[in-house]
Amino acid sequence: MYQHVEAYAGDPILSLVETFKQDPRPNKINLSIGIYFDNEGKMPLPESVRVASERLGIKTQAYLPMEGHAGFREQLGQLMLGADNPALQAKRVAVVQTLGGSGALRLGADFIHRWFPNAKLHVSDPTWDNHRGIFMGAGFTVQTYPYYDAATIGVKFDEMCAYGVKFDEMCAYLQGLPENDVVLLHPCCHNPTGVDLSVEQWDTVLKIVAERKLIPFMDIAYMGFGDTFDSDAYAIRRAVDLNLPVFASCSFSKNMSLYGQRTGGLLVLAPTADEAELILGQMKLTVRRMYSSPPAQGGLTAYNVLSDADLSAQWQNEVYEMRDRIRAMRQKLYDVLSARQPEKDYSYFIRQRGMFSYTGLSVAQVHRLRDEFAIYVLDTGRLCIAGLNDSNIDTVANALATVFAE
């Protein structure tokens, strides 16, 4: 009956995780999946999140509304846009609690495709692979705009804004797009490259988006891992200031370690409060048709963190500690590689931001890392810096130096 059904080749990240689990070598190192681990190699729960979760206890929870917990939604809007943002005060922002960041992306994709059926999606080259899958699943045609400049690997630049991005090509591409096409953008900690736009570059990109009447879809999964919570949200807040029709999806998987609780949200800016209500109504309808309501435990935990001034401040400081540990691992990689091969410039490891690094490894070098050193990295060369710690950093750095010397 089902012989005509096509086989699924598997997700490249999750499939590699399964291969890693089956590897019998005792000293194997997994740097493929996007999970934050502490210096002991454990997935930590921030103390602020633990306290908030214990306050809830384990008890039966009633269904949340289709759009999610009202307090969570309010706090999410304030975190993303700033508590005093005029758009929030004017009730021009529709906010929905979602099934993690992926659920937010799909909810927004379904809405846009329903009401702007001719719109195409444009993603950076490269982007997180599931961006394509989610929007294609919603019916979109997906195309790519120039972004990462591989030629900058190993090349010194005096200015951060000159590093890593094919910026002129990116701008030229965006200037050629038709009205209402969707541009998916990474506000901070670009996945998979770790290469971000500067403030000046963001201003230029958003000006083009406004002039071309495009729909910016901002996906922020690593807020707080770049610089600060406020600066990491710069692109989203600037887009709102410009009254662009911005969609912003976020996730609390990484910065609150609520991976399994599937806690995220979607924000949509509307021209008026009445239009925001129309958008929210259609979002609720879509939720009802897909999964009825979001999980309660994760949303209530996040709400209790965000709504308590002391816990919120503690949480942000804990995220900054995670950020700084990642930076320290980047610096260690740079130091070891530079000492081993001083003729090469490895400064891109410390220029890139967030959990991931585009290493410049070839597929053959990635496979050599896996086969000879039991170090698992994606075939693209993306390495999860958050998987490094004091116990494995020297092993990884020396293995990288060996394969880079080919």
Shared domain for 222 and 327, answered yes or no, is no
Is residue 27 exposed (0-12), middle (13-18) or buried (19+ Cβ within 10 Å)? Answer: exposed
Instruction: List active site positions.
Output: 128, 219, 254
Average confidence (pLDDT) over 398-404? 92
The two tokens of residue 202 are 């963001």
Task: Using alpha carbons, list the distances in angstroms from residue 124 to 64, 127, 182, 191, 193.
Answer: 35, 5, 12, 10, 10
Domain containing residue 171: CATH number = 3.40.640.10
Residue 53 lies in a domain: no
CA distance 157 to 367: 30
Shared domain for 251 and 266, answered yes or no, is yes
Cβ–Cβ under 8 Å, residues 302 and 286: no
pLDDT tens digits, residue range 131-154?
999 999 999 999 999 999 988 776
Average confidence (pLDDT) over 334-357? 90
Shared domain for 359 and 400, answered yes or no, is yes
Average confidence (pLDDT) over 280-288? 94
Shared domain for 305 and 324, answered yes or no, is no
pLDDT at 105 over 90: yes
Last-in-domain residue among 280, 309, 338: 309
pLDDT category at 155 given cuts 50, 70, 90 is low
Residue 158 lies in a domain: yes
pTM, rounded to two decimals: 0.92
Most confidently modeled of 158-162, 239-243, 258-262?
239-243
Is residue 117 exposed (0-12), middle (13-18) or buried (19+ Cβ within 10 Å)? Answer: exposed
Residue 6 lies in a domain: no
Q: What is the pLDDT of residue 156?
A: 59
Shared domain for 111 and 125, answered yes or no, is yes
Percent of all residues in the chain with a pLDDT value above 90, rounded to a whole number? 77
* Opening angle at CA 247, ends 243 and 252, nearest 5: 130
Cβ–Cβ under 8 Å, residues 140 and 109: yes
Q: What is the pLDDT of residue 15?
A: 84
Shared domain for 266 and 357, answered yes or no, is no
Task: Using alpha carbons, list the distances in angstroms from residue 107 to 134, 136, 250.
Answer: 10, 13, 12
Domain containing residue 19: CATH number = 3.90.1150.10
The two tokens of residue 132 are 């394509």
Residue 190 lies in a domain: yes
Q: What is the pLDDT of residue 112?
A: 97
Last-in-domain residue among 277, 309, 341: 309
pLDDT at 340 over 50: yes
Domain that holds residue 166: 58-309
Q: Is the dihedral of CA 312, 317, 318, 322 positive or negative?
A: positive
Q: What is the pLDDT of residue 16?
A: 87
pLDDT category at 157 given cuts 50, 70, 90 is low
Q: What is the pLDDT of residue 160?
A: 43
Residue 51 lies in a domain: no
CA distance 198 to 265: 25
pLDDT at 328 over 70: yes
Q: What is the pLDDT of residue 270?
A: 95
pLDDT at 82 over 90: yes
Residue 1 lies in a domain: no
How many distinct structural domains can be found in the chain? 2
pLDDT at 360 over 90: no
Distant-in-sequence, close-in-space partners of 260: CB < 8 Å, separation ≥ 6: none
CA distance 324 to 322: 5
Shared domain for 301 and 334, answered yes or no, is no
pLDDT tens digits, residue range 2-41?
777 687 777 788 888 888 899 999 999 999 888 889 898 8
Shared domain for 341 and 201, answered yes or no, is no
Last-in-domain residue among 309, 339, 374: 309
DSSP bridge pairs for 185: 218
Shared domain for 35 and 68, answered yes or no, is no
pLDDT at 161 over 80: no
DSSP bridge pairs for 220: 250
Shared domain for 116 and 174, answered yes or no, is yes
Shared domain for 332 and 371, answered yes or no, is yes
Shared domain for 317 and 303, answered yes or no, is no
SS (H, E, C) the chain: CCCCCCCCCCCHHHHHHHHHHHCCCCCCEECCCCCCCCCCCCCCCCHHHHHHHHHHCCCCCCCCCCCCCHHHHHHHHHHHHCCCCHHHHCCCEEEEEEEHHHHHHHHHHHHHHHHCCCCCEEEEECCCHHHHHHHHHCCCCEEEEECECHHHCCCCCCCHHHCCECHHHHHHHHHCCCCCCEEEECCCCCCCCCCCCCHHHHHHHHHHHHHHCCEEEEEECCCCCCCCHHHHCHHHHHHHHCCCCCEEEEECCCCCCCCCCCEEEEEEECCCHHHHHHHHHHHHHHHHHHCCCCCHHHHHHHHHHHHCHHHHHHHHHHHHHHHHHHHHHHHHHHHHHHHHCCCCCCCHHHHCCCCEEECCCCHHHHHHHHHHHCEECCCCCEEEHHHCCCCCHHHHHHHHHHHHCC
Cβ–Cβ under 8 Å, residues 381 and 366: yes
pLDDT tens digits, residue range 164-223?
899 999 999 999 999 999 999 999 999 999 999 999 999 999 999 999 999 999 999 999
pLDDT tens digits, residue range 311-324?
999 999 999 999 99
Residue 2 lies in a domain: no
**Nearest to 311, CA basis, from 40, 43, 77, 56:** 56
Cβ–Cβ under 8 Å, residues 393 and 37: no
Residue 5 lies in a domain: no
